[in-house]
Amino acid sequence: MENDRRESLQRGIRHYDLGLPPASAPSPTLDPTTGRKISSLTAAALCVKPRGQMTPQQIASINALKIESAEFTIMRQLAMRFRGLLMGGSIEKLGVWLQDARLSGVYAMQRFARTARQDIDALRNAVLEPWSNGQTEDQINRLKAIKRAMYGRAGVELLRARMIPLYQDDLHQE
């Protein structure tokens, strides 16, 4: 990692040593339907979204990003494969995926693979087990959002009324 930083710094400094202008950043990819720049946030969301769930405009944006950036194409392929692993893959495929991500040349994927290897047992369980705690996390996030919205307004009774749907109140009354 230290070598990567040093090489990056050396590449940046080399332009000044040789009297060359700094290397220009890649030009932003334009959305073919709107002509506007595709933001990094939009590109990240499209990178992990399955094609079957995309609108025609999103598909056009994906195609433009793939044409402009080989790195995006590699990231999307790896992201889709990882998504498939989590939906029902095998441990062997996980090992192959981690190796491919490590050798991809895409820093974000290399970093993700390195971090994933640090908690490989949890990742193996995520691949093998059909259940997750996603629903629990969703309820916790919902509770926190309600608490933030109600901050300073009321106590436990209002919180209970907001968390428990009305039809359930009828079930518990005698």
86-134 tens-digit pLDDT: 887 788 888 899 999 999 999 999 999 999 999 888 888 888 887 777 7
Do 138 and 123 lie in one domain? The reply is no
Do 88 and 48 lie in one domain? The reply is yes
pLDDT at res. 4: 58
Give the type of residue at 103.
Answer: L
pLDDT at res. 80: 92
Percentage above 70 pLDDT, the chain: 75
d(CA 158, CA 57): 43
Do 119 and 151 lie in one domain? The reply is no
Instruction: Residue 156: give the domain boundaries.
Output: 134-172
- Give how many domains the chain has, as a whole number: 2
Higher pLDDT, 37 or 164: 37
Do 30 and 74 lie in one domain? The reply is yes
Do 17 and 33 lie in one domain? The reply is yes
Do 35 and 97 lie in one domain? The reply is yes
Higher pLDDT, 119 or 16: 119
pLDDT at res. 98: 93
Q: What is the pTM of this model?
A: 0.61
Do 53 and 72 lie in one domain? The reply is yes
Do 100 and 57 lie in one domain? The reply is yes
Question: 140 pLDDT band (50/70/90 cuts)?
Answer: confident
Do 122 and 138 lie in one domain? The reply is no
Do 97 and 144 lie in one domain? The reply is no
Average pLDDT, the chain: 78
> DSSP letters of the chain?
-HHHHHHHHHHHHHHHHTTPPPPPPPPPPBPTTT-SBPPHHHHHHHHTS-GGG--HHHHHHHHHHHHH-HHHHHHHHHHHHHHHHHHH--HHHHHHHHHHHHTSS-HHHHHHHHHHHHTHHHHHHHHH-S--SHHHHHHHHHHHHHHHHHTTT--HHHHHHHHS-HHHHHHH--
Indicate the residue among 113, 128, 143 that finishes a domain: 128
Higher pLDDT, 66 or 149: 66
Question: 167 pLDDT band (50/70/90 cuts)?
Answer: low
Do 140 and 81 lie in one domain? The reply is no
Question: 161 pLDDT band (50/70/90 cuts)?
Answer: confident
Do 60 and 143 lie in one domain? The reply is no
